[in-house]
Structure 1
Amino acid sequence: MTALKEYARLESGGIWRESPDKAAREVIVSFGDATLVVSDGSGSALTHWSLPAVTRLNAGTRPALFAPDTDADETLEIEDPLMIDAIEKVRKTIARTRPRPRKLRHLSTVLIIGTLAAAGVFWFPGALREQTLSAVPQSKRAEIGATVLGHIQFLTGPSCRGPQGRQALAQLHRRLLGRDADGQIIVAPTGFGDAVGLPGGIIVLDKSIPESTDDPAITAGYVLAAHTTRTINDPLAPILETAGLRGTFTLFTTGELAPEVLKTYAQSLVDGALPPRDPVALVQSFDAARLSTTPFATHLASHGAPMPYLIANDPVTGDDVAPIMGDGAWVSLQGICDT
């Protein structure tokens, strides 16, 4: 979800302060997919703010002062009238797409009464979870995914944004998922040594994967595996497990999740609590992408996570393997965190 198409390339200067006790820094502010990107003068991202969560601290006053959420220590001061108006317009646009709490409360009350009467309290948590998963719109999923990404970056450091590396990531995204696929691949500078799919089409890839291998097929395998896992297992489901029954009920009735839920979930991902991979589904995805499973499976085995099914059932071999990217793009991707 790009914020609004007319603002996709909009940039402005700003003054960013990480916390009240840190020195203010001159930064560049731009729009990303569902995020507000704060970068230093060299173009390296310092932080990503979830656009739906951005808060105006001094309504009606300029320069405008923004924060990533109501409880954050970070602040961003912007003087550019066009950028201020753009942020305000995006925030209002996103707010209009959110589910209306009053309507959701009414629907959820009917659901709860009917569910309890029909099957009792022991069946209710599972029913509420499934109903919530089916009711959360894509705009809300993008907001949740961007917020989780922000928490991941707080733990791992800002995502790597070398310009040529980002072009290579976009090329890899198109190669594996198709030109019309939503979302993007984000490279984290440290973390969990893997790749994971978030709601809203975001795939977070640990930089150690492209940096530590010479074969782009391995990196492609991790990205495609993360995409496949989120396709067959709703990436919002483990977040609801973290939220518990009360948090799920709150999301269903109000369209909101407690900030602590998303922070806790992000911590679990960085700690390595990733969803399991389905080898049968992986073979099907690799076949559709014309990508061999053997390099990825061999790399997994060397790191103590063997998946022999992928090697025994490699769907694409020899000349059937489609090129992944050129040498120049691969080198740029490997060095995305160096610029």
Structure 2
Amino acid sequence: MTALTEFQRLECTGLWREAPEAQKREVIVSFGDATLVLSEARSQRALTHWSLPAILRLNPGEVPARYAPAADADEELEIEDATMVAAIDKVHTLISARKPHPGRLRGWLMWSALAAVLAVGVLWLPRAIIDHTAEALPFATRQALGRLALEDLERLTGAPCGNVEGTAALTRLRDRMTGTGGETYVLPAPLKRPRMLPGGVLVLPNALIDGQDRPEVAAAAILAAQLAAEDTGPTRAVLRHAGLRATIGLITTGSLSADAVKGYGDVILAGSDWLPRPERLLQRFAEAGISSTPFAYAIDPTGETTLPLIEADPHAKDARPVMTDTDWVALQGICDG
């Protein structure tokens, strides 16, 4: 938006106050493409995003400079760093210079400038804001988004399967595969592929468990879903579906309404090309010590589209057990109770 390449990596410290009665907190201020990102000084967790064009200088000419994100905002930020202050001032100078001046610009120039601004606003800025937000959200907020997406998916698949023994076995299988905990659910038809939602919320189709001869299919599905999420970014996908207005609401309020993700379940079910590249899958399977052949035939019974996973199976003869027989029996019956 600003085209200020000299400030692309600019950071400084500042004092941020969330509300008039709140205490000032030291934060890291990062100069982005379209926003100022305020992060905690110790953990570097993003606290809020301020739109650069909307920022107001509360005390022109004074030091430290005081800013607010909007005219009616309660937040306030103090910055002493001269370079950061100059960068913000330059943004506002550029914006002011691009505003139409009646009597000085001809009509065609005015409309050209307006068209350029609209093009930037419509084509680039919304996606930039959404992508920045997806990267900055704390884990708890991402997990809440994952649960909202799951609720919308349940409209089409029905409620997740669950009984005590099966759920416990599923949790142990995910821990064995990923080394990390997380919410994991088994959904009935018509879900056909595993999917990692925001916040590590994992959904598996029952078809990859019930009726399978070996637990390696479910184990491989967990790894495939995790790897696909690394490529696609599940939080970014949900926010792009929700749109810019909902994303801005998430930034300001910290929450997203269920209406914002309405229809995302249809997007999940409609997805087709989801498997990561075979070489990446094979590497992940090799590290986990599991065979890729059962998963390949579960995805395509003919083996034609998954032939690389069959021919280059890293553990065709020496795969390590992924779970006990007792857990496997319990997992197979997760949708029975």
Instruction: Give me the TM-score of the superposition, normalised by structure 1.
Output: 0.61
- Deviation string 1:181-203 (CA, Å, 9 cap, x unpaired) is 13132111333122111111111
Say if 2:135 is the partner of 1:134.
yes
How far has the Cα of 1:253 moved from its partner?
4.2
The offset of 1:170, in angstroms, is: 1.4
Pair 284,252 (structure 1): closer, same or farther in 2 beyond 3 Å: farther
User: Do 1:125 and 1:245's aligned partners in 2 also have CA atoms closer than 8 Å?
Assistant: yes
Change (3 A) 1:142 1:275: farther
CA offsets, 1:79-120, max 9 Å, x none? Answer: xxxxxxxxxxxxxxxxxxx987xx545679459x96996994
Give the Cα separation in 1 of the matches to 2:52 and 2:187.
40
State how many pairs are aligned.
Answer: 236
**Structure 1: distance between partners of 2:145 and 2:52:** 22
The one-letter amino acid paired with 2:238 is: I
Letter in 2 for 1:300: I
Verify: 1:165 aligned to 2:166, yes or no. yes
Distance 1:322 1:250, change over 3 A: same
Q: Residues 155 and 303 from structure 1, CA distance in 2 versus in 1: closer, same or farther, beyond 3 angstroms?
A: farther
Q: Is the Cα contact below 8 Å between 2:153 and 2:264 reproduced in 1?
A: no
What one-letter code is carried by the residue in structure 2 that aligns with 1:324?
V
**Would the alpha carbon gap of residues 304 and 298 (structure 1) be closer, same or farther in structure 2, given more than 3 Å must change?**
closer
**Structure 1: distance between partners of 2:331 and 2:271:** 26
Q: Distance in 2 between matches of 1:226 and 1:162?
A: 23
The 5-angstrom pairing of residues 209-248 of structure 1 reads 209-248=208-247
What letter corresponds to residue 148 of structure 2 in structure 1? T
- 2:163–2:334 CA contact under 8 A, matched in 1: yes
- Structure 1: how far apart are the matches of 2:181 and 2:227? 14
Counterpart of 1:204 in 2: which secondary structure?
Answer: strand
The 10-residue stretch of structure 1 (221-230 or 303-312) with the greater mean CA deviation from structure 2: 303-312
Judge conservation of contact 2:296–2:303 (CA < 8 Å) in 1: no
Secondary structure, in 3 states, of the residue corresponding to 1:318?
coil
Q: What is the 5 A alignment of 1:167-182?
A: 167-178=168-179, 181-182=180-181
State the Cα RMSD in Å: 3.3
Report the equivalent of 1:94.
Answer: none
> In structure 1, the residue corresponding to 2:149 is in which secondary structure?
helix
| 1:152 equivalent in structure 2 | 153
Gaps of 5+ in 2: 1-44, 56-68, 70-87, 99-116
Amino acid at match of 1:145: G
Q: CA deviation at 1:260?
A: 2.0
Look up the equivalent residue of 1:334 and give its one-letter code.
Q
Query: Please, which of 321, 328, 337 is the counterpart of residue 330 of structure 1?
Result: 328
Q: Deviation string for 1:42-92 (max 9, x for gaps)?
A: xxxxxxxxxxxxxxxxxxxxxxxxxxxxxxxxxxxxxxxxxxxxxxxxxxx
Q: For residue 126 of structure 2, what is the aligned residue in structure 1?
A: 125
Computing the radius of gyration over CA atoms, which structure comes out larger, 1 or 2?
Answer: 2
Judge conservation of contact 2:157–2:191 (CA < 8 Å) in 1.
Answer: no
Q: 1:153 to 1:108 in 2, by over 3 A?
A: farther
C-alpha spacing 1:176/1:105, structure 2 compared with 1 (3 Å): same
- Conservation of the 8 A alpha-carbon contact between 1:99 and 1:255: no
- Aligned residue for 1:189? 188
Measured after TM superposition, the shift of residue 169 of structure 1 is: 0.4
Query: What is the SS of the residue equivalent to 2:241?
Result: helix
Q: Any idea what the Cα deviations from partners look like across 1:234-262, whole Å, max 9, x if unmatched?
A: 11122122123333343344433342232
2:74 corresponds to: none
Give 1:277's match in structure 2, choosing from 275, 286, 304.
Answer: 275
The share of aligned pairs that are identical, in percent, is 33
CA contact (8 A) 2:154 2:265 kept: no
Distance 1:207 1:333 in 2: 10
**What is the match of residue 41 of structure 1?**
none
CA contact (8 A) 1:298 1:306 kept: no
**TM-score, length-normalised on structure 2?**
0.61
State the Cα distance separating 1:143 from its structure 2 match.
0.8
Q: Shift in Å at residue 205 of structure 1?
A: 1.1
